[in-house]
Amino acid sequence: MAEPGRCSAPRANPSALCDSFFGRFAGNQSINQSMSLPRFYISPENKLVDRILFREQDWNHIRNALRLESGAKVYAFDGHGIQYLVQLDRVDKQGVEGIILQSEQSKNESPLSITLGQAWLQDSKMSTLVRQVVELGIVALYPLVTERCQVKKKALQESSKAFRWEEIARQAARQSGRSRVPEIQKKFYSPKEFFAEAESFDLKLIFWEDEKATTLQDISAKQEIKTASLLFGPEGGWSREEIETARSHGYQTISLGPRILRAETAPLTAISVLQYIWGDI
């Protein structure tokens, strides 16, 4: 009997609710309509015809943190834009596997493709920035070493940093519902190396604190922009030579307004504005 002042109601069966939900959206309905199920990144080679082999680093989370068992449904995404609805049929200490129930091309990617060139920041700031710009929808990130970067040569040789940023990008894509993981370059580029490798873009902007005349408000929203390259300097700013080199490669210098923004804040501001104008915010 329920205690006075409390309501007594039968507990819902999670498995039955899940089956009911997916029964309602069976057939050709989008599997993106609910993001309530856990999501996991899988390497493309771990998709075997109609089966998914989950990464070893996710086994413990699936078994012990989420306490999922055979029969549970989860999402998996391959980092290239494909998402799968998967029913687990093996959950043990030796591995986690499942059968693919549905697959589809992700509909969560922005129509605006943004490539970010970001000068080196202090490691913790760079890690946070990677997570946030992935959430905002960038497609590629190039770490840059510029004249005023305060970084030791030893740090540039630590490829583990880039691999760690890549894993941060995967986790940010998982959390934000993306099925495409942005490309995180594993080497550090000088601005000249970046310009030599960069593709053609509809919009090329380099953000510079000494630019006083032109802001994002001066860019016409009537332009058809599908690809954009954004360059951000270090905490010490760009040198005059770097600015002139960027201009010679078609980059327009831009101000983010009268207030000075932190190096890790400026990219988030600009990306958000551009996603609002041409993207999906």
Query: Which amino acid belongs to residue 59?
Result: W
CATH code for the structural domain at 14-105: 2.40.240.20
Q: Which region, left, alpha or beta, applies to residue 250 given φ > 0 means left and ψ of -120 to 50 means alpha?
A: left
- Is the pTM here over 0.85, yes or no? no
| CATH number belonging to domain 113-278 | 3.40.1280.10
| Per-residue model confidence as pLDDT tens digits over 219-231 | 887 789 999 999 9
Q: What is the residue extent of each domain of the chain?
A: 14-105, 113-278
Query: Over the stretch 38-97, which tens digit does the pLDDT of each residue have?
Result: 999 999 899 999 999 999 999 999 999 999 999 999 999 999 999 999 999 999 999 999
SS3 51: strand
- Position 157 pLDDT exceeds 60: no
Q: What is the DSSP string of 76-119?
A: EE-BBSEEEEEEEEEEETTEEEEEEEEEEE-S-S-SSEEEEEEE
* pLDDT attached to residue 30: 56
